[in-house]
Structure 1
Amino acid sequence: MAQASATATPKSASGSDERVRRISGVRKLLNRPELGSLSGVILVFMFFALVAPDSGMFSPDGTLNWLQVSAELGIIAIGATMLMIAGEFDLSIGSMIGFSGMMIGIANVFWGWPVWAAIIFAFALALAIGFINGYIVVKTGLPSFIVTLAFLFILRGLTIGLSVTLTNRTIISGVIDNPEDDWLANLFGGDAFGWLFQWLADIGVIDTFVGGVPVVQGIPMSIIWWLGLAAVASWVLMRTKYGNWIFASGGDAKAAKNVGVPTDWVKISLFMFTAFCATVYAACQVTEFGSASADRGVLKELEAIVAAVIGGTLLTGGYGTVVGACFGALIFGVVQMGLYFTGVESSWFRVFVGAMLLVAVIFNNYIRKRVTEAR
């Protein structure tokens, strides 16, 4: 009896409790929201590596092209993802891009403001509009889809109306002629780490133009902003109390409010964040091209939402990831530039977007059911 008891004791200590439900490593992987978008990234890279190996798509300058396209979409996709996790939508993101860009152009070219003041002015207006968006949603209880759809038209109309009234044109050129002379313009325009690429050109790693100028002169600031925002937003979402509040607000806002989560403040702040991201996008474009146009940002709000959904964010809120949205934006950039490098008609890109959205929604619905069952 003593021997049997002795042998039973270590078995009980090391054995598993049948009341604890263990999840295998494969199941944990399937439950990750980034899985679908990561798989999509791998597939599109493999596809274009096979069909366009000699097109220059994966050369240093070709890589920079699709990275920049991905970064511009990724910036606004990050804001859209955070808001969608909280259970809301912002359909005014695209109009905000055009509005903020024109405000920078008008303030700089026609009012004679320095670039830094024009950029701060655009950010202040955008944050105020984001606050109004969020305030109306939380105080009236109206769907954010309707409220921000209204602001989509309001901002687009304001952009065109103000630009025509004040400047008699819808495109303003000559913006930021000398960005290197302005401390704030350098944070949005130009290239970073130019010295590194010059050194790589000097040792023969990358090609150069006549005169020794490298074909890639640095990393565009839009890519730096994308990576920086992604890192900060991921940390906030996964490692802070505010991030928990975002998930709680999107999962069950009433229950979250009952336990003390300031859901109204969370949602208003996220509407302001989407406006901030849209203005970062606008500032990067204005400082890069030296012009502002009233029609910039058209349909970008839908692309941002699609990137978020491809990245694993549920349309119902409460579930998603910033990293997945960045993968979704990367898929967009690779496919869009890949079609260009392979000479395929660009209209097929829209077909791809629609197909990816449908596949992502079906896959995310499957993952949501698996997560629910796991609980």
Structure 2
Amino acid sequence: MGVANLFHANPRKHPPTDPQDPSNANATSAAPAGATDERVRKESWFRHLLNRPEFAALAGTVMVFLVFGLSAGNSGMFNLDGVMNWSQVAAYLGLISVGACLLMIAGEFDLSIGSMIGFSGMMVALPTMYFHWPIALAILFAFVGSMLLGALNGYLVMRTRLPSFIVTLAFLFILRGLTLALSVMFADRTIISGVGDVARQDWFAHTFFQGVAFKGFFLWLGHIGLVKMLDTGVPLVPGIPKVLLWWLALAIVCAFVLARTRFGNWIFAVGGDANAAKNVGVPVRRVKISLFVLTAFCACLYSVLQVCDIGSAAADRGLQAEFEAIIAAVIGGTLLTGGYGSVVGASFGALIFGVVQIGITYTNIDSDWFRVFLGVMLLFAVLFNHYVRSRVSASR
């Protein structure tokens, strides 16, 4: 994509022609009415769709839904409660895949995302349960601390010019080790429980990070017979999990920024050719550090929602989540080399992940095949993205 994305190029404007000018008359007569300029290459809608980064993820999503619709359609997977189960798994992964996608488009990786999830969970649980902080203050502390660590990651990458793979791999071990050490030091165990009860009594935590939304609407749906009611008078599906709303909001905002703003153009330019982007005035350092901060924010948001919902923090939370986020981004059309990708595609990649992980339990297939499927999807996505990139390069 390169520096060409810095500005939205407009068609070249030619000066108005004078109809009384003989040269213009000759040019006009030479070109018959309705003739097309051979210099303008027209592209069919299918080829245009094929060149979109999210096409492979969209096609994969359709395929996955067809497969599970045929194999598990009668098992309740596509009932309202089943939909909420796999969409919630997709939403958690979607949160971190959005941040990972933008960072990868800018040409960098963050392998500390998974460890950041576990560490930020402890930053919420330990002050709340052992230092008796208000949980709202602990949540704010976790967000600030995580984003500062993200900024440190980005600063070290830009300052030392070391590969982000190496720097964030170091933080993967540092944060995972700190999470284990601090949990054992203060709690004498690796799981800290009771956070959910505290969050339930706090307006801020309960309103924004815990439970479901639109309870009254779903209760009304239950009363009119559209949602199954339990014997206790509560709908089987009491509402929409708040992680779904956070995922939707984050994906919309980031997709808009990437596609419609100057900062989004900067992201593409930095990932395409950082030196060329710097030469034309793009603040490369600021862009990349900002995206490292974003990935840390996404990891912390994942953790806060999970801690408030599950009610506990554990030192092994987020294990291998960084690789799952990268897989979702690559399935969504993001190139490992940077400069090309889509937030919408990464969201579809996360949706595929959630549907397969939960859908496989509705079939007779052994759940061990889940990782095999992810590997096949990753390989297919990489090959397809390579094919699309070769086509785009050849057509220039």
**TM superposition score normalised by structure 2:** 0.91
Quote how far apart the aligned CAs of 1:7 are.
12
- Please, which moves more after superposition, 342-351 or 46-55? 342-351
Alignment partners' CA distance in 2, 1:105 and 1:10: 78
In the alignment, does 2:367 pair up with 1:334?
A: no
What's the secondary structure of 1:184's corresponding residue?
helix
Partner residue in 2 for 1:359: 380
- Superimposed CA distance per residue, residues 253-295 of structure 1 (whole angstroms, 9 cap, x where no aligned partner): 0000000000111000000000000000000100001100000
CA contact (8 A) 1:108 1:176 kept: no
What's the secondary structure of 1:16's corresponding residue?
coil
Partner residue in 2 for 1:145: 165
* Correspondence 1:203-218 to 2 at 5 A: 203-218=224-239
CA contact (8 A) 1:115 1:176 kept: no
What's the secondary structure of 1:176's corresponding residue?
helix
Alignment partners' CA distance in 1, 2:30 and 2:227: 63
Quote how far apart the aligned CAs of 1:361 are.
0.3
Q: Please identify runs of 4+ aligned residues in structure 1 that moved more than 6 A.
A: 5-8
Quote how far apart the aligned CAs of 1:194 are.
1.1
- Superimposed CA distance per residue, residues 54-112 of structure 1 (whole angstroms, 9 cap, x where no aligned partner): 11100100000000000000000000000000000000000000000111010111110
- Name the amino acid aligned to 1:118: A
Quote how far apart the aligned CAs of 1:184 are.
2.5
- Please, which moves more after superposition, 346-355 or 149-158? 346-355
Q: Which of 61, 70, 73 lines up with 2:81 in the alignment?
A: 61
Relative to structure 1, the CA distance from residue 146 to residue 13 in structure 2 (aligned partners, 3 Å threshold; closer, same or farther) is: farther
- Please, which moves more after superposition, 169-178 or 321-330? 169-178
CA contact (8 A) 1:108 1:175 kept: yes
Q: Which of 291, 309, 313 lines up with 1:292 in the alignment?
A: 313
Partner residue in 1 for 2:286: 265
Quote how far apart the aligned CAs of 1:362 are.
0.2
Q: Which of 159, 175, 185 lines up with 1:165 in the alignment?
A: 185
CA contact (8 A) 2:135 2:198 kept: no
Partner residue in 2 for 1:49: 69
Unaligned 5+ runs, structure 1 = none
Quote how far apart the aligned CAs of 1:168 are.
1.2
* Correspondence 1:57-206 to 2 at 5 A: 57-185=77-205, 186-206=207-227
Alignment partners' CA distance in 1, 2:341 and 2:307: 31
CA contact (8 A) 2:196 2:309 kept: no
Alignment partners' CA distance in 2, 1:39 and 1:224: 24
CA contact (8 A) 1:72 1:222 kept: yes
Partner residue in 2 for 1:25: 45
- Please, which moves more after superposition, 19-28 or 188-197? 19-28
Quote how far apart the aligned CAs of 1:162 are.
1.0
Quote how far apart the aligned CAs of 1:21 are.
2.2
Alignment partners' CA distance in 2, 1:143 and 1:74: 25
Relative to structure 1, the CA distance from residue 329 to residue 355 in structure 2 (aligned partners, 3 Å threshold; closer, same or farther) is: same
Quote how far apart the aligned CAs of 1:252 are.
0.2
Alignment partners' CA distance in 1, 2:169 and 2:33: 60
- Please, which moves more after superposition, 269-278 or 170-179? 170-179
Provide the alpha-carbon RMSD of the alignment.
1.6
Alignment partners' CA distance in 2, 1:224 and 1:371: 35
Alignment partners' CA distance in 2, 1:205 and 1:343: 29
Alignment partners' CA distance in 1, 2:374 and 2:288: 28
- Name the amino acid aligned to 1:159: T
- Superimposed CA distance per residue, residues 333-370 of structure 1 (whole angstroms, 9 cap, x where no aligned partner): 00000111114322111111111111110000001111
In the alignment, does 2:334 pair up with 1:313?
A: yes
Partner residue in 2 for 1:236: 257
- Superimposed CA distance per residue, residues 288-330 of structure 1 (whole angstroms, 9 cap, x where no aligned partner): 0110000000000000000000000000000000000000000
- Superimposed CA distance per residue, residues 159-206 of structure 1 (whole angstroms, 9 cap, x where no aligned partner): 001111122111000013143432331211111111111111111011
What's the secondary structure of 1:292's corresponding residue?
strand
Alignment partners' CA distance in 2, 1:132 and 1:7: 62
Relative to structure 1, the CA distance from residue 7 to residue 357 in structure 2 (aligned partners, 3 Å threshold; closer, same or farther) is: closer
The alignment-based identity, stated in percent, is 60
Partner residue in 2 for 1:348: 369
- Name the amino acid aligned to 1:50: L
- Please, which moves more after superposition, 47-56 or 84-93? 47-56
Partner residue in 2 for 1:248: 269
Paired positions, count: 372
* Correspondence 1:8-19 to 2 at 5 A: 9=29, 11-12=31-32, 14-19=34-39
What's the secondary structure of 2:222's corresponding residue?
helix
Relative to structure 1, the CA distance from residue 8 to residue 277 in structure 2 (aligned partners, 3 Å threshold; closer, same or farther) is: same
Quote how far apart the aligned CAs of 1:372 are.
1.4
Quote how far apart the aligned CAs of 1:17 are.
1.6
Partner residue in 2 for 1:277: 298
Alignment partners' CA distance in 2, 1:182 and 1:270: 31
